[in-house]
Structure 1
Amino acid sequence: MAAPRLVLSVCLLMLAVITLAEGLRGAGPKKCCFTFTEKPVAKERVVGYVKTSQRCSNPAILLKTVVGRQLCVRPSTPWMKEVITYLNNKALPGQTKNL
């Protein structure tokens, strides 16, 4: 009678340790890029961007296009820098630029 209780206790203890260890690690990155778009995308076709997590193995930028697609681009690409500058300087809805 003691042996089944001991086995059950050990299993429950192991499950608790594994659960705690996984919880401390935290959630992983939501999206990482492993393949990249090399072809330039017109800045007018891009509505937004986000940098991938530092936990991803490859630094990347996710572009969101007008039609809702997401593209992975290397941040060092020269045309990507132009797109980021364009988007950062673009007025937000409801804002006016002072000239």
Structure 2
Amino acid sequence: MAAARLALSVLVLMLAAVTLTEGLRGAGPKRCCFRFNENEVPKDKVVGYIRTSQRCPKPAVLLKTVAGRQLCARPTDAWVKELISYLAAKSVAGETSNL
């Protein structure tokens, strides 16, 4: 009987420790991309971008369009790199993104 209580106590303590460590990690990423836009988006249709969290399984860039949509794009695609450079040059120093 004492061995069963000890085993149950150890199990409860282990579950509590796991729950605590998972809780300390914090919330997961707000948005990750699993499918990507393959077509180039015209520069005049994009108003901003953000990079997804490093905790996402695939690196991505979220492009915000003038229509308010968010499109997933691969940061390694040449057209995405060019678009990011264009947006960076277009932004005013000290301005923050509204994404």
Is TM-score (shorter-chain normalized) higher than 0.5?
yes
**What's the TM-score bracket when you normalise by the shorter of the two chains?**
0.7 to 0.9
CA distance in 2, matches of 1:79, 1:21: 41
Q: Does 1:28 align with 2:28?
A: yes
Aligned amino acid, residue 52 of structure 1: T
CA distance in 2, matches of 1:35, 1:74: 9
Structure 2 residue matching 1:20: 3-state secondary structure: helix
Which structure would you say has the larger Rg?
1
Question: How big is the shift at 1:26?
Answer: 1.6
Question: How big is the shift at 1:92?
Answer: 2.7
What does residue 61 of structure 1 align with?
Answer: 61
> For the aligned residues, what is the CA RMSD?
2.7
Identity across aligned pairs (percent)?
Answer: 61
Of 20-29 and 60-69, deviating more is 20-29
Aligned amino acid, residue 82 of structure 2: E
**If the length of structure 1 is used for normalisation, what is the TM-score?**
0.73
Q: Deviations over 1:30-81 (max 9, x none)?
A: 1100000000000111000001111111010000000000000000111111
CA change 1:56–1:85 in 2 (3 A) is same
Question: How big is the shift at 1:21?
Answer: 2.4
Q: Does 1:48 align with 2:48?
A: yes
The 4+ residue runs of structure 1 with deviation greater than 2 A are 12-19
CA distance in 1, matches of 2:91, 2:28: 33
- Which runs of 5 or more structure 1 residues have no equivalent in the other structure? 1-5
Correspondences of 1:12-27 after superposition (within 5 Å): 17=17, 19-27=19-27
- Which runs of 5 or more structure 2 residues have no equivalent in the other structure? none
What does residue 39 of structure 2 align with?
Answer: 39
Q: Does 1:70 align with 2:64?
A: no
**If the length of structure 2 is used for normalisation, what is the TM-score?**
0.73
What does residue 83 of structure 1 align with?
Answer: 83
